[in-house]
Amino acid sequence: MTGSTLPDGRYAEKRLDKGMSHNSFGHLFRITTWGESHGPAIGCVVDGCPPGVPITQAEIQTYLDKRRPGQSKYTTQRKEPDTVEILSGVFEDEDGALVTTGTPIALQISNVDARSKDYGDIKDKFRPGHADYTYLEKYGVRDWRGSGRASARETATRVAAGAVARKVVPGLRVRGALVQVGPHKIDRANWSWDTVNENPFFCPDPKAAENWAEFLDEIRKSGSSTGAVIEIVADGVPVGLGAPLYAKLDQDIASGLMSINAVKGVEIGAGFESAALSGEENADEMQNGPPGWPTFLSNHAGGILGGISTGQPVVARFAVKPTSSISNPRSTIDKDGNNTEVVTKGRHDPCVGIRAVPIGEAMIAIVLADHYLRHRGQTGQDVAQDVDTNLEWLPTESSF
Ligand SMILES: Cc1cc2nc3c(=O)[nH]c(=O)nc-3n(C[C@H](O)[C@H](O)[C@H](O)COP(=O)(O)O)c2cc1C
């Protein structure tokens, strides 16, 4: 390094021997994703999925359709059908149904609506709050078209992989909801899972959904953006997943959720609120329950004790920051170090939290599938827990 500050000195040197690594997540159930926002396609390879897991293109598509952009005025207007192709790793079983073969599953999604010219004005400028500066500093080269690899376009592939992961743990159900937009929280007493799919926000509280519509309209029209909090609840998680001390289930959940673009905070169960509780309040009391199972009287632990699942619903929450690409001007510098202003045009999510709901679900499913296989590998136990929908536990019942 000569320490030159000229772009073709400073950044060309960085280009020489730097490669982008760390595109894989998980141990036994392992995903590797590839692709950029404005490249021809994005995709992932799911390695380690056991053979014989029934899976169809339509099933994977259902989850991708939840994350797809352009479905309401509250998300980016980029129109991507996000049609997934299964390129490998599945074959017909004796009855003609598609099942996994135990070989790598390659999933591909084409990019069909990229408009790279929208990014022309900011290709040499650093958007405050985005990854432009750090990518260029680290690698010396930056794909500015639609933010390249830093775009959450990549997360579509995680959602596809998550659809496979859900099938690996018998009886697993992973559901998510948006519980806060900007400063506006839901009223937990109104929580209804049915409502989640009846509004454009994945909001479990119909009243809050109405208020958010108004709030987000103002945010969008003013050229600004806002943050959000997403809650994921996984039930049917068998007792025993996770391991002390460096493979805690909560540790890996935090890692998976924190890997999602724009995530700035993760909590499990009562999370940060637990600091304000007394020992008595926080203790999830236990009673003799159905044969073989204890009954827990609350779930401040979010279904995890000592890094190991208790058999209760696993509850995690994550906060996303406001979208950094906004059309209101912000002060910044360009890559030559000149002071300037940046205004981001193009199509952006005014609140990335909405489409983060299916992404968070996918990451939790991937972590649980991985730990399920690791548990089986270490203990030889095939564990499962049926979800009894008559006794459904609602996040309203806990004092988060
Ligand atoms: C679903 C989703 C959609 C996103 N859409 C945008 C977007 O339209 N514009 C933008 O600037 N950032 C968007 N982001 C966030 C950026 O990808 C992210 O802020 C950027 O990669 C920098 O990484 P960091 O925020 O994790 O530090 C989105 C994030 C998610 C989860």
Question: What distance in angstroms lies between residue 334's CA and the mean position of ligand 1's atoms?
Answer: 20
Please give the pLDDT value at position 6: 47
Task: Find the angle CA(41)-CA(72)-CA(184) to the nearest 5 degrees.
Answer: 115
Please give the pLDDT value at position 3: 41
Please give the pLDDT value at position 350: 93
- Return d(Cα 256, Cα 159) in angstroms, integer: 12
Question: What distance in angstroms lies between residue 352's CA and the mean position of ligand 1's atoms?
Answer: 7
- Return d(Cα 225, Cα 144) in angstroms, integer: 21
pLDDT for 115-166, tens place per residue?
888 888 899 999 999 999 999 999 999 999 999 999 999 999 999 999 999 9
Q: Name the DSSP class of 170.
A: T
Tokens 């299916």 belong to 358
Residue 187 confidence class, pLDDT cut points 50, 70, 90: very high
Cα dist from 319 to 57, 134, 135, 257, 263, whole Å: 31, 22, 23, 10, 6
Cβ distance 319 to 228 under 8 Å?
A: yes
- 66 in ligand 1 pocket by Cβ < 6 Å? no
Instruction: Name which residue leads in pLDDT, 198 or 18.
Output: 198
Q: Return the CA Rg of the chain.
A: 22
pLDDT for 274-305, tens place per residue?
999 999 999 999 998 877 678 899 999 999 99
pLDDT for 256-270, tens place per residue?
999 999 999 999 999
pLDDT for 320-343, tens place per residue?
999 999 999 999 999 999 999 999
Please give the pLDDT value at position 259: 98
Angle at which helix 353-379 crosses helix 155-168, to 10 degrees, equals: 40
Question: What distance in angstroms lies between residue 276's CA and the mean position of ligand 1's atoms?
Answer: 32
Listed in sequence order, the residues at least 6 apart from 332 whose beta carbon sits closer than 8 Å to its beta carbon are: 125, 126, 127, 128, 339, 340, 341, 342
Cβ distance 395 to 196 under 8 Å?
A: no
Residue 91: both structure tokens together: 């074959």
Helix (H, G, I), strand (E, B) or coil at 164: helix
Please give the pLDDT value at position 13: 67
Cβ distance 33 to 42 under 8 Å?
A: yes
Residue 8 confidence class, pLDDT cut points 50, 70, 90: low
Mean pLDDT, residues 311-324 taken together: 96
Please give the pLDDT value at position 4: 42
Mean pLDDT, residues 224-248 taken together: 96
Mean pLDDT, residues 91-102 taken together: 96
Task: Find the angle CA(320)-CA(22)-CA(158) to the nearest 5 degrees.
Answer: 50
User: Do strands 330-333 and 339-342 pair parallel, antiparallel, or not at all (unpaired)?
Assistant: antiparallel
Mean pLDDT, residues 81-92 taken together: 97
Nearest atom within ligand 1 for CA of residue 76 = 8
- 53 in ligand 1 pocket by Cβ < 6 Å? no
Mean pLDDT, residues 160-179 taken together: 97
Which of 261, 264, 320, 324 is the best mutation target for the ligand 1 pocket, counting ligand atoms within 8 Å of the beta carbon and taking the most?
261
Residue type, 345: K
pLDDT for 103-127, tens place per residue?
999 999 999 988 888 888 899 999 9
Burial level of 78, CB count in 10 A (0-12/13-18/19+)?
Answer: buried
